[in-house]
Each structure stands twice: as structure tokens, then as C-alpha cells.
Amino acid sequence: MRSRARRRRRRERLTFLVSLGVIVAAIATTVYVARTRITPFAFMLQSVNAPAAKAFDHFDFSTYWLATHGQPSLPIHGQAAYLVDLDARQVLWQRDAETPRPPASLTKLVTAMVAVDDAGSLDRTVEVTKEATKIIPSVMGLTAGERLTVRDLLYGLFLDSGNDAAEALATGIVPRDRFLRQMNQKAKSIGLAASHFVTPSGLDAPGHAMSAHDLAHTAAYLDTYYPQLATVAATKDVAITATATHKAFFPHNLNRLLWNYAGATGLKTGLTDGAGGCMLATATRDGRHLIAVVLNATLHSTDDAAVLLNYGFNVHPSRAFGPFAA
């Protein structure tokens, strides 16, 4: 009996030592490969449009220039405002930029990006649901059962600020609840820290909010990684010819800056009872790119954005720091 017990203990010790040796060898191999591998591991995961989470520009806007130069008193009516130089990555003027507020139709920038991600192509056809046609006000004029391309719906979304177009995109590609989850996932993945979405249109709803800072970040991201959407947003008027699957549409851009501000390139207007008048404006002059956000400035949002842009083009920050900052 004692002999069998000794043999069993020897087998157990041998099994333990062999197992330990295997674990040590595996760890040593992993460390060696990690230290000697020249090229990174290639994971064959591809995205239709958006860049990988670690690959995209995070648009970290610095307040260094603002801290060292201050900001003048400008006649801005908005409760929140934010002006950034996209090239210098510097904040030039701000007011309560981090507080989450109702963003009204500025929401539709995220709606558009998620729709493009889901569709994979602007030529994909979407059938308008009955639910989408019940959303008012501010509509493209859709009828239930019509079939339009994602591109056509994006014109209605950006130019007419069509809430029906937003709902058509949110219900015609994937289920609406999934689309809303994707909007919040998109916000998190691109670094929006004070945004939460409850509707795809931006109509007032409890918990639906974005900060002025997040909106500038969203505009920079859209302009960089979704240039086709920036092109749509910069369009003044477009005629969508009638087909066998839908009537004709004539979206007209509500952004007055495209007509009367030199260098204006977009991007979106917004208005609800809770949000007040909102404006997300982009402009380019002499190779410089500015983004101005104004929230809750009913009757003044467009003029406020123009004031901010004028100021921004009259100062010249750089990306340098310390005593060498311009």
C-alpha cells in the first residue's frame, strides 16, 4: 500500500512539473514573439467607411492659445458657443462648451454617419416606413412606401432638415432601436464625452443632448472621414427627379451662411422649443478651416456663427506651444 502511494505521489509530481514546464515555455514564446516581431499583427477586420477606433484623428483641441491670448467680448447671444481652428487644433472662443444641451437637428450629423455606415453605399435603396412619415415638423415630404436612395434621403436630411428623412434612414436599413444604439456607440467610439441620443431627428426628448465641444468634434470627424456627407451639406439646392418608386423632391438648404458668408462650407442648422436656435457652421478661407458652434440662440444663431467666424479669421493661432506659440 505504501509502495502504491509513493508511486502515485511521484506521478502527481511529474504531472505538475510537466504542466509547469508547458506554461513557462508558452510564456517565454509569447514574450519572444512580441519583442522580436517587426510588423504588427494583421487582423483582417474591415470597416465599410469609418476608420478603426485607434486609427482615426481624435481632434484634441487645445486651449493653450486661448489661455495665453484671452478672448474678447463678442456679441454672442447663444447660451453655449465654441470656435475652433481645425488646422491649428486651437480653441479660439468658448462659452459653456462642455455642458450637454438639446442639439435639435445638429443631431443629424451623427444620424447621417451611422446611416452611411449601415448602408455601405449611398446608392442603396430604402423604403419609407409609415412611422417615418408621422414625424413633424420640418419634413422632406416623404410618403410611406416610397423607395429612395440613401443619397436622396441625405439631401432631405441636411438641406430640408427633414425629420421624416431622419426616421426613414433610422428605420429603413436596420431596426430603429438598433440604429439608436449605434448612434450612441458611434459617439463613444469617436470620443464624444457629453452626448446621448434618444431620437435620430433631434426632436426634444429627455436625455437627448450634446455639448458644443462634442458638436465641433463631430463636425471635424464628418468633414475628415465622411467627405461625401460634407459635400451634401454644402449643397444649396438640388432637384431629385421623380422615378417609378418616388415623386420629385426639391430640397433647399436652410443654412443662410452658404449664400451670404464668404467661404462658408456648411454644415447644419437646428431649432426646437427645448434647444432654441442652433447653428453648426464651417468655413474655409486662405487654406484655414474654422468650426463655429452656437446653441440656444433663437433668432440669432446664424448671426452669432458669423461673428465667431469673423473673429476666427482675424486671428492666427498655430500648433506651437510655449514661448514660440503665435
Tell me if 167 sits within 8 A of 132, measured CB to CB.
Answer: yes
The pLDDT value recorded for residue 323 is: 44
Cell of 296: 440656444
Phi, psi dihedrals of residue 130, rounded to the nearest 5°:
-65, -35
User: CATH number for the 64-324 domain, one of 3.40.1160.10, 3.40.50.300, 3.20.20.210, 3.40.710.10?
Assistant: 3.40.710.10
Residue 296: predicted pLDDT: 98
Taking residue 156's Cβ as centre, other Cβ atoms within 10 Å add up to 26
- At 34 the pLDDT is 47
pLDDT tens string 130-160? 999 998 887 899 999 999 999 999 999 999 9
Which grid coordinates are listed for 320? Answer: 506651437
Say what the pLDDT of residue 289 is: 97
Contacts of 169 by beta carbon, 8 Å cutoff, 6+ apart: 111, 112, 115, 126, 150, 153, 154, 157, 179, 200
Question: Which of 72, 68, 63 lies closest to 314, judged by CA?
Answer: 72
pTM here is 0.82
Give catalytic residues, as residue numbers: 105, 108, 161
pLDDT on residue 300 = 97
Q: What is the pLDDT of residue 13?
A: 67
pLDDT score of 136: 81
pLDDT value at residue 254: 96
The pLDDT, as a whole number, for residue 48 is 47
SS (H, E, C) the chain: CHHHHHHHHHHHHHHHHHHHHHHHHHHHHHHHHHHHCCCCCCCCCCCCCCCCCCCCCCCCCECHHHHHHCCCCCCCCCCEEEEEECCCCEEEEEECCCCCECCHHHHHHHHHHHHHHHHCCCCCEEECCCHHHHCCCCCCCCCCCCEEEHHHHHHHHHCCCCHHHHHHHHHHCCCHHHHHHHHHHHHHHCCCCCCECCCCCCCCCCCCEECHHHHHHHHHHHHHHCHHHHHHHCCCECCECCECCECCECCECCCCHHHHCCCEEEEEEEEECCCEEEEEEEEEECCEEEEEEEECCCCCHHHHHHHHHHHHHHCCCCCCCHHHCC
Per-residue model confidence as pLDDT tens for the chain (326 residues) = 555 556 556 666 666 666 666 566 666 655 554 454 444 433 333 344 555 555 667 788 999 999 999 999 999 999 999 999 999 999 999 999 999 999 999 999 999 999 999 999 999 999 999 999 998 887 899 999 999 999 999 999 999 999 999 999 999 999 999 999 999 999 999 999 999 999 999 999 999 999 999 999 999 999 999 999 999 999 999 999 999 999 999 999 999 999 999 999 999 999 999 999 999 999 999 999 999 999 999 999 999 999 999 999 999 997 655 444 44
The values of phi and psi at residue 147, to 5°, are -125, 120
The structural domains of the chain, with segments of one domain joined by +, span 64-324
pLDDT at 131: 93
CB 94 within 8 A of CB 294: no
Closest by Cα among 117, 195, 126 to 156: 126
Question: How far is residue 276's CA from residue 290's CA, in Å, rounded to a whole number?
Answer: 23
Specify the pLDDT at position 138: 79
pLDDT in tens, 58-111: 788 999 999 999 999 999 999 999 999 999 999 999 999 999 999 999 999 999
